[in-house]
Chains A and B, each alone.
Chain A
Amino acid sequence: MDEVVTNPSFWGLALAIAGAAFACIVAGVGSSVGVGTAGQAGAGVTAEKPELFGKVLILEALPATQGIYGFLVAFLILMFTGLLGGEPINLTLAQGALVGFAGLPVGLAGYYSGAHQGRVSAAGMGIIAKNPGDMGKAMVLSAMVETYAVLGFLISALIVFAIPAIAA
């Protein structure tokens, strides 16, 4: 058993890639749901007041950040494990698991935060439809939800930055 865990094998790398995939997929799904929700509400506002399209677009784009954070963590994992350069480093099962777990914080926090930020953005569409001057308020309300994705991303990124130390 010990040997399986400590010997460098493709399983280690596979776990790292699984973490990258998880971060990118789950955070991306969260953002897709969020942007979708906000976009539907935004289309309603645009139909009534086409001149607000610019503001609607910005509000719709706010829940998109989670997907970007997920992508970034995935990208960093691929880069630090050498997959981007085509020369993957050797990882033991345990090292791979360490790297792979880096995908969880940004993935899960990104999913829930993205989906819910979308709802707040959608509700914010009502604010700008009634009073375009209150755009800033709608944005801040929506950005409150993003906080937790930011924190998840922060932890994920900090773990990924430790990869060279882990792999050494």
Chain B
Amino acid sequence: MSLSIQLRINGTQRSIPLDDPRVTLLDLLRERLDLTGAKKGCDRGQCGACTVLVNGRRVNSCLALAVSLDGAEILTIEGVAQGDVLHPVQAAFIAHDGFQCGFCTPGQIMSAIGLIHEGQTDGDPERVREGMSGNLCRCGAYIGITEAVLEAERNMNDASRRDAA
């Protein structure tokens, strides 16, 4: 069975042949497109390490069949920085030690970007913790992660207000 799909990945339109409909978005990114930022932790939707944005929404890429996403826009951790300028969430994770080993970090950052876009936190740490609960960190960097998300959200909101002014 030969299938071909179109995806816009990190701003680049790609035509991707698929020889098997079982390929998940995560396996497509990691094993076929050399985008290994998204991590395979549990591969069952429980840990959040594979989080990417699909059409602007955070999802577990391990639970999405690539063939089903034909035509979608994908944003992975490789696509969030502007050249050498880090995304505000990346910068905040460094500033607040939002990681230790770093394995879960790409998923944490993509989830945080999704969370901030959802606009439901109101700067409330409890809402950030709840909103990030789909991303596990086995090093236990949760305190730094929460601080990083709160700071990134403030910085991004300030920047968008400046842009609007």
Q: Do A and B bind each other?
A: no
